[in-house]
Amino acid sequence: MGMGTSTFVIRWINFLTMLLAIAVAVFGVWMSTHHDNCRRSLTIPVIGIGAVIFLVSIIGFLGALKNSSILLWIYLILLCFISVGVLVFTVLAYKEYQLHDYSPWFVKQLNNTRNWKHLQSCLVKSDDCKNLSKKYKTLKQYKLAKLTPIEAGCCRPPSECGYPAVNASHYDMSFHPVSSNKDCKLYKNARDIKCYNCDSCKAGVAQYMKTEWRVVAIFNVALFVVLSMIYFVGCCARRNAARIRSKD
């Protein structure tokens, strides 16, 4: 790659990522003003990600702008750590969620009272269960629907309980459950109770996260490829900067 081309590319890539970092940080600040505790809890991680992106980007931008071999070395080292981190995180997590049963560690986290209460508050405020009656107008539509893991595990009692469905959000609780499953007694028609304390809800959340992780894994692999390409261009820019310095 030509001497001017590599530095030009690195300069513009990092200028754009600096703008992205500012947008991420602003988004984090916006989340801190939200009344939803679930979103507010993500404020620090989101702002932290924005800060890291901005720091790495400004080092790369200044290194390319000033043809500084030292700054570009620092930029490449940081970029290498980020790339390896993305790859390791993707591989390890993907292996864990490929297990036939959910890992003991993951189940332990779900069963942790503090963790589950936090997740539970998020589920109550979400639209998954709230909108079922709007989503399925008739009982027939509801019975034939392919429910999501959250809808099936958290919004209704397990099928083995045998409670007759009145509509998509209400069950006849006067019916005596035919199963000894403890979830049958935990389910209530109340909007803020439903089956949020049920093991079936925890299983639904686990399955949802497993499904979502596949999307995250694909994104991370694509991100790793992009970072590798930027790393290659960065190496060219560093070599070019070193040549310019040696000529001076």
Percent of the chain with pLDDT over 70: 81
d(CA 164, CA 151): 17
> Using one digit for the tens of pLDDT, what is the confidence trace for 61-71?
888 888 787 88
Q: Looking at residue 37, what is its pLDDT?
A: 59
Global model pTM greater than 0.85: no
Residue of 120, 129, 171, 124 whose CA lies nearest to 150: 129
pLDDT of residue 4: 60
Mind spelling out the 3-state secondary structure of the chain? CCHHHHHHHHHHHHHHHHHHHHHHHHHHHHHHCCCCHHHHCCHHHHHHHHHHHHHHHHHHHHHHHCCCHHHHHHHHHHHHHHHHHHHHHHHHHHHHCCCCCCCHHHHHHHHCHHHHHHHHHHHHHCCCCCCHHHHCCCHHHHHHCCCCHHHHHHCCCCHHHCCCEEECCEECCCCCCCCCCCHHHHCCCCCCCCCCCCHHHHHHHHHHHHHHHHHHHHHHHHHHHHHHHHHHHHHHHHHHHHHHHHHC
Helical axes 104-111 vs 113-125, angle rounded to 10°: 70
Strand partners, 170: 167
Check if the beta carbon of residue 26 is closer than 8 Å to that of residue 49. no
Task: Indicate whether 117 pLDDT > 70.
Answer: yes
Encode pLDDT of 128-152 as tens digits.
888 888 889 899 999 898 898 889 9
20, 26, 32, 37 alpha-carbon torsion, rounded to 10° = -30
Mean pLDDT across 155-182: 90
97 pLDDT band (50/70/90 cuts)? Answer: very low
Rounded distance between C-alpha atoms, residue 31 and residue 41, angstroms:
9
Give me the chain's average pLDDT, please. 79
